[in-house]
């Protein structure tokens, strides 16, 4: 049973019912809707379709809505600009005219104010690199450092520059409202810079009566510098290596990834590794060996989930990509992990109770860790401790918790109704495991649950044998 979870982004290559069915069948745990490209009409149509297909498959499949965020982009060009080192490229605010041979508008009104002479500007995922020569009231003149062809609406990165963009744009707010209406499971916040960005989104979700968990996307150096506070305030971290790899020196990216994964596991927050995991499979049926090694390293570090983007939105082989992740992850998990969970901070009594249950499960062959949870907290505690042997079966009566736990490492959620009789509920769980051939007679079940004693709820650990 694969412990590392798989997130797939939907797009033209995977939006049909058959393509969705195949992604779910092959083992996709979370489906991502990228609001940089998705329309509200499309989202309204595809969310119930995903839910219906997941129900037919009998699997928990969560939905993640990814906000576009306050991206800085160039404007439209009548023709592409063919630039060479030494050329002068002028960025102008909309409405301003340029006298330079090469110029392009910028959609961010604070661009001139935030930037300084000598700053580096990266355009189109770093393909174009320029340095600021001077600036005026509504324009910035730069010198081209790398040859490139500049097209319309290209993304701009400003490494080490603090930009005064809002955490949520008007579009983001509308997209979050739609997410709340459709009861999606996760909302990702793009270009998180500090703790208060997450707090702003959480307040908005609360006002919309949404219980969606927040995914903080780490995409620039400001977020890296504030990573401890961001981890503390969010529900999940996503290491978005696309923009992050542009904003930071390339040789630092693997170190940043490893450091964030270690911090997330130590502080008890799920962590997702994203971007270019299987980039070559957009056009090729097989991955490169370097990509296989990259995936293997992420699995060895015991990240909760791996995310595919263009591979499953536009790629020719989306289901094959899921098969590759499944195959590599399953094999690497058998070889062990980095062991970052040995440094987990046990923050409360419940956390310590779960740790004791895992210690017991790790000491027993063919054991199963059974967690009965209403809100998902005890199951997340168990996942965060990365049990060496026992899979985590999380039984919950809560439909959204059932889906949200699909993102957690090593956790296999099961939706059942709890009865007033704990023994009856345990018997129902055991019957499910037997029916699905997930447990056999003689297997030991280490059960973590809360037991009602009068008016008090008491956490308990039980050891039972499957009959």
Domain boundaries, the chain: 5-69+167-333, 81-157, 346-465
- Percent of the chain exceeding pLDDT 70 equals 99
Per-residue pLDDT of 221-233, as tens digits, reads 899 999 999 999 9
User: Residue 262 pLDDT more than 90?
Assistant: yes
Per-residue pLDDT of 161-215, as tens digits, reads 888 889 999 999 999 999 999 999 999 999 999 999 999 999 999 999 999 999 9
pLDDT score recorded for residue 161 = 87
pLDDT score recorded for residue 451 = 61
Please check whether residue 135 is in contact with residue 89, taking contact to mean a CB–CB distance below 8 angstroms. Answer: no
Per-residue pLDDT of 59-87, as tens digits, reads 999 999 999 998 899 999 999 999 999 99
Half-sphere exposure of 178 (CA within 13 A, CB side): 23
User: Residue 454 pLDDT more than 60?
Assistant: no
Determine the average pLDDT of the residues in 31-43.
96
CATH number attached to the domain at 5-69+167-333: 3.20.20.60
Give the pLDDT band (50/70/90) at residue 455: low
Per-residue pLDDT of 118-176, as tens digits, reads 999 999 989 999 999 999 999 999 999 999 999 999 999 998 888 888 999 999 999 99
How far is Cα 301 from Cα 297, in angstroms, rounded to an integer? 6
Query: Annotated active-site positions, please?
Result: 32, 73, 217, 275
CATH number attached to the domain at 346-465: 3.40.1380.20
Determine the average pLDDT of the residues in 30-36.
97
Q: What mean pLDDT value characterizes the chain?
A: 95
Superfamily classification of domain 81-157:
PK beta-barrel domain-like (2.40.33.10)
The pTM is what? 0.94
Determine the average pLDDT of the residues in 18-44.
97
Identify how many contiguous H helices and E strands the chain contains and give both numbers.
Answer: 16, 21
Determine the average pLDDT of the residues in 347-365.
93
User: Residue 452 pLDDT more than 70?
Assistant: no
Determine the average pLDDT of the residues in 457-467.
87
- Can you give the three-state secondary structure of the chain, one letter per residue? CCCCEEEEECCCCCCCHHHHHHHHHHCCCEEEEECCCCCHHHHHHHHHHHHHHHHHHCCCCEEEEECCCCCCEECCCCCCEEECCCCEEEEEECCCCCCCCEEEEECCCCHHHHCCCCCEEEECCCCEEEEEEEECCCEEEEEECCCEEECCCCEEECCCCCCCCCCCCHHHHHHHHHHHHCCCCEEEECCCCCHHHHHHHHHHHHHCCCCCEEEEEECCHHHHHCHHHHHHHCCEEEEEHHHHHHHCCHHHHHHHHHHHHHHHHHHCCCEEEECCCCHHHHCCCCCCHHHHHHHHHHHHCCCCEEEECHHHHCCCCHHHHHHHHHHHHHHHHHCCCCCHHHHCCCCCHHHHHHHHHHHHHHCCCCEEEEEECCCCHHHHHHHHCCCCCCCEEEEECCHHHHHHHHHCCCEEEEECCCCCCHHHHHHHHHHHHHHCCCCCCCCEEEEEEEEEECCEEEEEEEEEECC
How far is Cα 388 from Cα 137, in angstroms, rounded to an integer? 60
By C-alpha distance, which of 162, 163, 161, 159 is closest to 248?
Answer: 159
């Amino acid at each position: 049973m694969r412990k590392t979870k798989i997130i797939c982004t939907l797009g033209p290559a995977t939006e049909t019912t058959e393509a969705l069915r195949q992604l779910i069948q092959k083992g996709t745990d979370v489906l991502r809707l990228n609001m940089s490209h998705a329309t509200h009409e499309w989202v309204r149509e595809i969310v119930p379709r995903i839910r219906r297909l997941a129900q037919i498959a009998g699997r928990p499949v969560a939905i993640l809505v990814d906000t576009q965020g306050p991206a800085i982009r160039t404007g439209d060009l009548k023709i592409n600009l063919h630039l060479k080192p030494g050329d002068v490229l002028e960025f102008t605010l909309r409405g301003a005219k340029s006298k330079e041979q090469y110029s392009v508008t910028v959609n961010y009104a604070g661009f001139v104010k935030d930037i300084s002479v000598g700053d580096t500007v990266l355009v189109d995922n770093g393909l174009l690199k320029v340095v600021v020569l001077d600036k005026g009231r509504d324009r910035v003149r730069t010198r081209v450092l790398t040859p490139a062809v500049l097209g319309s609406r290209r993304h701009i990165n400003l490494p080490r520059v603090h930009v005064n963009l809002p955490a949520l744009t008007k579009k983001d707010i509308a997209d979050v409202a739609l997410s709340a209406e459709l009861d999606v499971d996760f909302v990702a916040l793009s270009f998180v810079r500090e703790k208060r960005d997450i707090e702003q989104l959480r307040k908005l979700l609360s006002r919309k009566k949404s219980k969606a968990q927040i995914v903080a996307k780490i995409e620039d150096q400001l977020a890296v510098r504030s990573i401890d506070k961001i981890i503390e305030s969010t529900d999940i971290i996503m290491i978005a290596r696309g923009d992050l790899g542009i904003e930071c020196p390339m040789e630092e990216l693997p170190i940043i990834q490893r450091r964030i994964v270690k911090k997330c596991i130590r502080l008890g927050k799920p962590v997702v590794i994203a971007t270019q995991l299987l980039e070559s499979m957009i056009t090729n049926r097989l991955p490169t060996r370097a990509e296989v090694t990259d995936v293997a390293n992420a699995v060895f570090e015991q990240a909760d989930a791996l995310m595919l983007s263009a591979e499953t939105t536009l790629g020719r082989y989306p289901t094959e990509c899921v098969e590759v992740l499944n195959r590599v992850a399953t094999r690497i998990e058998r070889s062990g992990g980095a062991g970052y969970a040995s440094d987990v901070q046990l923050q409360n009594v419940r956390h310590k109770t779960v740790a004791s249950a895992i210690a017991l499960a790790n000491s027993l062959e063919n054991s199963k860790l059974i967690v009965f949870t209403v809100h998902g907290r005890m199951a997340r505690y168990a996942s965060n401790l990365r049990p060496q042997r026992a899979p985590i079966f999380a039984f919950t009566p809560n439909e959204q918790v059932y889906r949200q736990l699909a993102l957690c490492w090593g956790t296999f959620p099961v939706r059942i109704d709890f009865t007033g009789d704990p023994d009856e509920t345990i018997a129902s769980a055991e019957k499910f495991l037997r029916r699905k051939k997930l447990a056999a007679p003689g297997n030991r079940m280490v059960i973590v649950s809360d037991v009602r004693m009068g008016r008090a709820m008491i956490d308990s650990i039980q050891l039972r044998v499957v009959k």
